[in-house]
Structures are given as structure tokens and as C-alpha cells.
Structure 1
Amino acid sequence: MRISSAPVAAATQTQPTVTVEPITCENYEAFVHLRVAPAQSTYVADNWKSLAQVNLHGPAGKAFGIRTDGTPAGMLLLWDARMDPDEADRADELYVWRLMIDAAQQGRGLGKQAMAWVVEEGRRLGVERVALSHVIANEHAGRFYRSLGFAYTGEIDDGERVMHLPLK
């Protein structure tokens, strides 16, 4: 997966510049200690666990750090189903495994910019769709993803509602 470190959106008074970068041995400490707001802690795993999981599950999973104006602000895990032989039914899909924005950075449009980057990455990769799921009780996440064009599929996967955004 080729990654552009170019800003996702130009900095404005209300919207900071967001960049997305692969998480590596050299920069993981900048992202591993970020935390969501306490009320969201049951909806997303801690970053240390996310990094361990993505590294245990092979090359289909990739971890990315989200920065705003150079400051670590969040983390994103993507799953390229084309690289997973066990995912033949979802083989043309880029899956958003995790998205988290640090509590101190929330409410600034960073998640929206990060998801715009994901959609562009999916287009660059040529996948049919971007997919994700969220905890059923997290209605805020559902509203957020719907506002970006994602739609529910009707599928429930491990207690989470599945959503797709077609790219083709």
C-alpha cells in the first residue's frame, strides 16, 4: 500500500491539516498512548491492542497514524480483504477495522478527513467498496458514517452493524 503524506485537506481556521502515515517501529510511541473519550472506551480497543492485533494477523492489515498539524491525533487500521484468502466473499473490499481520534482532538473534523483519505485510498487501490462496522449501541458512529455516504447492509457481524460505501 503506497501512502501519501500530503495533507488530506488544506488548513483553515476551523479545519486543521490532517496527514496519514504508516505506523512503524520508529513512530508507534507517538500513537500508542492516544485515548478516546471515557464514554467511548467500550466502543474501540486501546491502541496498544489494535497494534498487536494488526501485527498478528498478517499482511492484509495495516496500521496508520493520523496527525493534525504534525501532532499525533488518532489511529486507523485498514484491512485489504484482497490479501486475505479467508475473505473470498469480501475480496474486493478495503475494510476500516478501527478508527479512533484522541479525546483531546475530537470535534475538529479529523475523523471526517481521515475517512476521506480512506475513500481515496480505496479508489487508488481499485477496490469495489469501503466497508466498516460499528458497535450497535454506538448510534453516534452510525450517524457519522451515514453522513459520509455509508449505508447499512443489514448484516450484523460479531455484534456490530456492517456498512458499505460503493466505489465502483
Structure 2
Amino acid sequence: MSTTSPSPRLIPITADTIDAACAISVRPDQQHLVSPVVKSLAEAYVHPGVAWPRLIVDGDEPVGFVMAFLDIAWNPSKDPTDIRSGIWRLNISADHQGKGYGRFAVQAVIDELRRRGATRAYVTYDTGPGTPAPFYAGLGFHPTGELSGDQPVAELTL
């Protein structure tokens, strides 16, 4: 993987970047909160029209992984017009946390969603010790009161 830009950016997962993406690992105390990148890539493979996986790099260095979900019917049996997009997965490498890469990745996904015409962004997250809820709240996401499985849903108006 050879790049020239020194600032953080998102790049597609390709044959050249897959090993770097799979090597991204969060801190041990966070592993119960987020699935590993390899699971995200498997989900992206089986949901190719929905998943938008990207490696977060700074210069030549992989620092994280983000995957958005795009234009899914949230609850088609109740309201097939309730189409949503947002953050599906965010993994920042343990060595690179606290440096703004998570905020950068969320903003980059939001920019992509706006480009695609979205007016809201959504995220779900695990609760309990170490929950990322305060991180997302600090970015302007507000709980909707809904659950996706056992995870709260939060929304950001774009």
C-alpha cells in the first residue's frame, strides 16, 4: 500500500488493503463492544449493495476501519419507506485511539451520506462498560428510543 497523502482518508478495501484492514484491532477491553474487521468484511461480502467498508489510513499507515450501511429499509413490514443509512462498524486500532481518527471516520461517512442525498445518519452500539454512546453523543447523535436487537439506535440530522 503506497500513498502520498499525509492526512487521514478513507480508502476502499481491495486485494492490496485487505490484510491491513484485517490487522486492525481495538483494545482488549473493547473487543466485546465491536466485531472484528474480518466479520465486517464477511458481512460486506454478503450485503454488497448495502455495506460500504473503508480502511482509514494516515499517510501510508492503516489506523482504523469504518463500514457504513446504505439505504436499507429499517422495518419493511411496518414502513417500507423508512430508508436509513449510517455507521455499521467503527474499529480504531488500539495504538491510534484518542487521535481523532474515529471522529474523522464518522465525519467522512456523514459526508458520503450527504453526497448520496441522505438527511439523517444512524448508528447502533453496545451498552455497558466502555460503551461508545458518549462518543456518538459528542458528535451530535441522539437516541431515538428504538432498539436494533439489543442495541440502542441513535440518529443525527444532517
How many residues end up aligned between the 2 structures? 153
TM-score norm. by structure 1 comes to 0.82
Misfit runs of 4+, over 2 Å: 84-90
SS at structure 1 position matched to 2:125: strand
SS at structure 1 position matched to 2:21: helix
- CA-CA distance at 1:138 after TM superposition: 5.1
Alignment of 1:138-153 (within 5 A): 140-153=131-144
Structure 2: where are the runs of 5+ without partners?
Answer: none
Q: Deviations over 1:94-116 (max 9, x none)?
A: 22110110001101011011111
Higher helix share: 1
Aligned to 1:52: 42
One-letter code aligned to 1:142: A
Instruction: Answer yes or no: is 1:90 the counterpart of 2:58.
Output: no
Structure 1: where are the runs of 5+ without partners?
Answer: 12-16
Contact between 2:8 and 2:104, CA under 8 Å: does it hold in 1?
A: yes
TM-score norm. by structure 2 comes to 0.87
Instruction: Answer yes or no: is 1:100 the counterpart of 2:88.
Output: no
Q: Choose the corresponding residue for 1:64, options 41, 54, 64.
A: 54
The sequence identity of aligned pairs, in percent, is 28
One-letter code aligned to 1:60: V
Aligned to 2:126: 135
Aligned to 1:159: 150
Query: For the residues of structure 1 that align with 2:28 and 2:55, how far apart are their CA atoms?
Result: 21
